[in-house]
Structure 1
């Protein structure tokens, strides 16, 4: 079985970043992803950049492009105006998230005239009838959740509000996702849940990111990457571990994978090739 794939990019913030984004798209678009998504910075800091990147990718490549949209630091009117702008540009896919507060600002605080949470945002977007909606999910407990049951109940509420699919935070062991998938099924969730896959470009960075978002870090990974870095085998280990993780998921019936590319295509491409996902299309005249 060859899995379907989807890809996540982040919007460029300078000229160098723009070149890197388009190099990543050129490298990975031939793998014919089911969709690609573009992230939103914490506190809505890349709102305009995200909008520009989504429109450019959609127009220049023909890829099915999804925009991240959050509730942070915006009124309902402003948020829905962004969504309507996407619809007018022919973009019908949105990843609807509450969003993280600006760095250093503490806990999330809804805008006085904004959406209070992701469920309100999803309901408003669903009511337009213009979008396919995806939401976030957390195989490890979200840092703000009261526990795993509360996390799953909230996910079910988001899906019931109008979302058609969920994408998980990344994780390091297949069992983490498989346990979560089983718990979701027991809770009555029957919509697809895509496992979020993070090819590890830099172990220190991935480890720090995991701690910030509540993803558990197995001790054996620290040891494995410490040895690999001493021997100059970091990328080899990262490719092998990511391929094994994906293979283990596929052995348990997972047929779609969502890759967090970090706008660095090499490891994602190598893992996909190892899984049998080979080039299917060719992009032309992309600037």
Structure 2
């Protein structure tokens, strides 16, 4: 069983300059580490603006390899500070093949691996299918220096199957780096409705799987979207342990994996799963 550790989520606004975004994020990483963070998670596409709001071939120039400039730099920071870094960015895997990815850097600076976003949306203001190939590495759990962390990204958060599979692989914590907000055409009532749904679905993953769940969102206005922040961490029965507002913030909370087994003993959803009856889940439509 992993020991307790301090998780910090870095919720920021971003600029058009990748170098400036990296430098600003590093400053916040160092601040979080100085306050005792062991695991630090960044938001989706942390070092770029949310370019998927428009279709523009020039945006492919924002992508980089893993390992590459950002991950190599942050690996040195992780080793210096002895922290685990979860680094979501725009990955160029090869000519014409790009992913929305998350690099996991251990506390010694080693690259443990990559998660590539499995579910790719296509909505007004979120043209991700133009840019991203669907993830080809499957669902991932990384056994870091501080805990077993399941990595998922944004649109993945709406799919209970993704959360369940990742939890079954042994994750104590599911992280969802995110870029979500309201479009300029949407009302304040719609914003609140969407925000409530976003929180509810992730809290339900914590309850159904008896594990911790963290959603880390960006903030600020970028072209068509106003990103609403509200990053939060839920405990193994869905209780919100910490929640951010709508401005830049480092949100920190203790993660205690020893709380997972008692929770699953009390609410034995894992025990009572009828795995013999779930064949239809592998079909698009059952009928």
TM-score category (smaller protein): 0.3 to 0.5
Higher relative strand content = 2
TM-score w.r.t. length of structure 1? 0.47
Greater relative contact order (Cα < 8 A, sep 6+): 1
TM-score w.r.t. length of structure 2? 0.47
